[in-house]
Amino acid sequence: MYKILRTILFSFNPEWVHYFSMNGLKLVCKLPFGKAMIHSLFKTSGNNLITQFNGISFSNPIGLGAGFDKNARYLNELEALGFGFVEIGTVTPLAQAGNDQPRLFRLPKDKALINRMGFNNDGVEKIKERLNQWNNRVQKTSNHSLNQRLIVGGNIGKNKITPNEDAWKDYVICFNALHELVDYFVVNVSSPNTPGLRELQEKESLRKILTELQNQNNQFNIQKPILLKIAPDLTLEQIDDVISLAMEIKLDGLVATNTTIDKKNLLTPDATIDSIGAGGLSGKPLQKRSTEIVQYIHEKTNGQLPIIGSGGIFTGADAQEKFTAGASLIQVWTGFVYEGPAIVKKIGRHLKK
């Protein structure tokens, strides 16, 4: 059924379809028993899927990666679809429009997307308001039929206009603003769509950002896990630097990986790729490399550094591949676009076997 719907949706602008689809789902969930009906169709349940990660209990290990619900607008709807966790953002201190449109492109032959969104978001204060509303709602309905609350991660970044030497200040602003409202944080220095951002993956730049955040974290009564999201384009030497720093400062984990700038060996013609221009590639072409990085980190640290695996996950077998490589949780994004709203249920069914 979804394949037919997907064919229709894929004939329209990807960014427009994203908001059209999610707003449509929002309307359904507002109907009497609408959310319960959606959840009954797409939920995945069972105690054998409950996952402990950094002291947090996840109803299942299947999450939605950052960039899908940038502004915390659709948490209610994504919870209805059965996700164990959703990572909002990337959030920056100030609202920003992101890069010029068009900035999101489908590559159906490769089951992939290219995006150059550029951290478009409403800014930390507006997103903070929405998270406050969400948390108040969750507290009022703590005994609802979904059994266990949706875990929310906060993916944070810097504004485009902020120079790299001051980047740590942007991360601190977002961290402090959202600390009481999210369950964990992910530091995003690996998006290819903000000029110069990936330079912050160098060891000393990372040290400055992460230690500042840890210092802030220690000021709160309850500390929140801090993870780092890394690019799949890092060399092994660069990955070793990240691992070394993460182990040294006792970072809570890594997200592996973000999108890639490597667009070689695609089924989509080179002329089409050239016409699209810059952007990060996600989806099936990223699957092998992201799994290799997950496995490398897991083996290098003897499993002591928790990992959220992301990249090219479309099926239960894809998810199992990441878990076998050493991931504790997994995130989908492009797979959600291609596989549709039943992706969590399908992956969960496979994992329960």
Q: What is the mean pLDDT of residues 169-182?
A: 98
Residues 6 or more apart whose Cβ sits within 8 Å of residue 26: 74, 76, 77
Q: Is the pLDDT of residue 142 over 60?
A: no
- Count, in order, helices (H) and strands (E) of the chain: 13, 13
Q: 19-28 burial, b for 16+ CB within 10 Å, e for fewer?
A: eebeeebbee
- Residue 24 to residues 32, 40, 49, 156, Cα–Cα distance (Å): 15, 18, 29, 27
Residue-level pLDDT at 147: 57
CATH of the domain at 68: 3.20.20.70
**What positions carry a catalytic annotation?**
191
pLDDT of the residue at 143 = 45
Contact 207, 242 (CB under 8 A): no
pLDDT (0 to 100) of residue 338: 98
What are the E-state strand segments in 193-279? 226-230, 253-256
Distance CA 89, CA 127 (A): 9
Question: By the 8 A CB rule, do 133 and 75 touch?
Answer: no
How many independent structural domains does the chain possess?
A: 1
Please, which pLDDT band fits residue 44 given cuts at 50, 70 and 90?
A: confident
**Structural domain that includes position 70:** 2-352
Percentage, residues of the chain above pLDDT 70: 98
What's residue 45's pLDDT?
Answer: 74
Q: Is the pLDDT of residue 75 over 60?
A: yes
In whole angstroms, give the CA distance from residue 192 to residue 180: 29
Alpha-carbon torsion (294, 295, 300, 302), positive or negative: positive
| Mean per-residue pLDDT over the chain, rounded | 96
| pLDDT tens, residue by residue, 81-113 | 999 999 999 999 999 999 999 999 999 999 999
